[in-house]
Amino acid sequence: MSTTKVTADMIASGAIPSIATLEYNQAILAFKVASANQLAKFSMVDQVIDEYQDATGIDAGASTNELAGGATTAKYYGGGVPVTPTTSSVGSVASTGTVDGDYTYYKWTTVGSSHSFTTDTAQDYEYLVVAGGGAAGDWGGAGGGGGYRAATGFPVAPGTISGITVGAGGLAQGNGTGGLSGGNSVFSTITSSGGGGGANDGADHANAGGSGGGGTYYTAGTVRAGAAGNSGGFTPVEGYAGGSGASGNYGGGGGGGAASVGGDGVGNDGGNGGAGINNDITGSVVGYSGGGGGATNGGTPGTATHGGGSGATSTHDGTGADNTGGGGGADSGDGTNHGGSGIVVIRRLTTIEIGGGDLTLQSVATTAKSAPTTANLVVLIEDSGSGTADLASDIKAKVSRDGSAFTGYVTFTDEGNWGTDKRILRSNDIDLTGVTSGTSMKYKIETFNQSAGVKETRIHATSLAWA
């Protein structure tokens, strides 16, 4: 059996790939594997790979203007610029918003549809949209809590959003009648449905709504079931169904709430209102969209939480709380327990970062087996905007082997494309002997001459290898 000695001439001729070429090919393969599996930073023997699926591999204290972007297999880092959006609003409690820590929120509490919001900057918002609660029926079922919708990450583009609406609470209709449903509340494409009105002891049915109104016992001998809440395909749902009335004894069903169904009437006792939801978007925890408590016929009235009105024994003390979307608690004899009005709140970060700034992206240290003398660096970049990064002036990099002392700027070569406006940069045989020896391997990538929409260089992945 014979062996062949690998010589420098053989490597130079291309008959045998160089170590740098093998490391380069290994880096490209690792990028593909990491991207396909959405992997974070991981180490190989004498090599570290980072696809920026998270911030695991980045030293935030040593980096500046690092703005993470993208999604799934296309995440990246670009340079960010701090921006404080200019906003205004019509009809809100404070026209320019209320600052609470790192956030500014805008709150609309006045019933109507003429409110608006204006911003000059695209930004994601958190929202709370609560509709008006339903009114209670006389001698019967309680009103359902107003529809509740809340979420983060809602994109708002520059411009004006008109038609912001705060729904009115449903009106009670007097002795012997069922309650009316609450009004819808609206912000942009988000609509929460008014809570359903409760049934009375006459012929009126409970109404469906964001949360359903409670049922009652009908004098002709029929039990009125609670009405349905509005799932509407939402996760979580806007609200739940109201409870049914008691058979034969006039205990009214509780109105549905944003978090649970209303309780059924039992004997003379009214059903409890369905639970609402606590939310701290305004900096304080407030309960919203609770269902009202059902009426009683000489027993115990249904109780309520989260803005809903408790059932009353004789007087109208069970009105839903305004600006919570609470359902009206059913009373015994006068039919005056209204639902509470709704509310709309949006919240944003007071200061955000947008693309277009110069970036310094420094990695955390990866420990080498021994102090290396050379390194190879492969970087996947994207030229976003109308400009193309110049490898001599717009993107530069350095390497350290002791975690603090870095080489001078390395020389990048363009190895071709890995997608539209995406390039592979490579720097081979970086000499480490001129910097402090050690085994803490780091890279530092810097971008220059960046401008939003003109030249935004994005860093999608980096491989650092050493020997």
Q: In terms of domains, do 372 and 458 share one?
A: yes
Q: In terms of domains, do 311 and 367 share one?
A: no
Q: In terms of domains, do 274 and 189 share one?
A: yes
Q: Which of 350, 381, 403 is the last residue of a domain?
A: 350
Calpha distance 432→226 (Å, rounded) = 76
Which residue range(s) make up the domain with 370? 8-82+355-466
Angle formed at CA 442 by CA 441 and CA 444, multiple of 5 degrees = 160
The number of beta carbons lying within 10 Å of the beta carbon of residue 293 is: 38
Q: In terms of domains, do 213 and 338 share one?
A: yes
Among the listed residues 302, 300, 279, the one whose alpha carbon sits nearest the alpha carbon of residue 292? 302
Among the listed residues 287, 314, 331, the one whose alpha carbon sits nearest the alpha carbon of residue 135? 331
Q: In terms of domains, do 141 and 167 share one?
A: yes
pLDDT of residue 229: 85
C-alpha distance from residue 42 to each of 25, 30, 70, 78, 362 (Å):
17, 10, 20, 21, 16
Q: Kindly tell me the sign of the dihedral angle through the C-alpha atoms of 209, 214, 218, 223.
A: positive
**Domain-located, residue 2:** no
Q: Kindly tell me the sign of the dihedral angle through the C-alpha atoms of 389, 390, 393, 398.
A: positive
Contact 87, 97 (CB under 8 A): yes
Q: Are strands 42-44 and 47-50 parallel, antiparallel or unpaired?
A: antiparallel
N- to C-terminal Cα separation, the chain: 31
pLDDT of residue 14: 42
Q: In terms of domains, do 212 and 93 share one?
A: yes
Number of domains in the chain: 2
Contact 321, 342 (CB under 8 A): no
Q: In terms of domains, do 207 and 345 share one?
A: yes
pTM score over 0.85: no
Calpha distance 173→160 (Å, rounded) = 38
Q: Which residues pair with 445 in a beta bridge?
A: 361, 397
What are the backbone dihedrals phi and psi of residue 142, each rounded to the nearest 5 degrees, phi first?
-85, 165
Among the listed residues 202, 204, 203, 224, the one whose alpha carbon sits nearest the alpha carbon of residue 214? 224
Give SS3 for 261. coil
Q: In terms of domains, do 216 and 330 share one?
A: yes
Q: Which of 301, 335, 350 is the last residue of a domain?
A: 350
pLDDT of residue 74: 86
Q: Which residues pair with 100 in a beta bridge?
A: 103
**Domain-located, residue 3:** no
Helix (H) or strand (E) holding 10: helix 8-13
Q: In terms of domains, do 312 and 431 share one?
A: no
What are the backbone dihedrals phi and psi of residue 82, each rounded to the nearest 5 degrees, phi first?
-65, 135
Calpha distance 260→266 (Å, rounded) = 18
Q: Kindly tell me the sign of the dihedral angle through the C-alpha atoms of 62, 68, 72, 74.
A: negative
User: Mean pLDDT per segment of 10 residues, for the chain of length 467 residues?
Assistant: 38 44 60 54 79 93 94 90 95 96 97 97 97 90 95 97 98 84 97 93 84 81 80 74 84 93 91 96 97 88 92 69 94 78 98 92 96 96 92 97 97 94 95 97 97 94 94
Both structure tokens of 241: 């169904």
**Domain-located, residue 133:** yes
Q: Which of 296, 326, 350 is the last residue of a domain?
A: 350
**Domain-located, residue 1:** no
Indicate which CATH number applies to the domain containing 389: 2.60.120.260
Around 51, how many Cα atoms within 13 Å sit in the side-chain half-sphere? 21
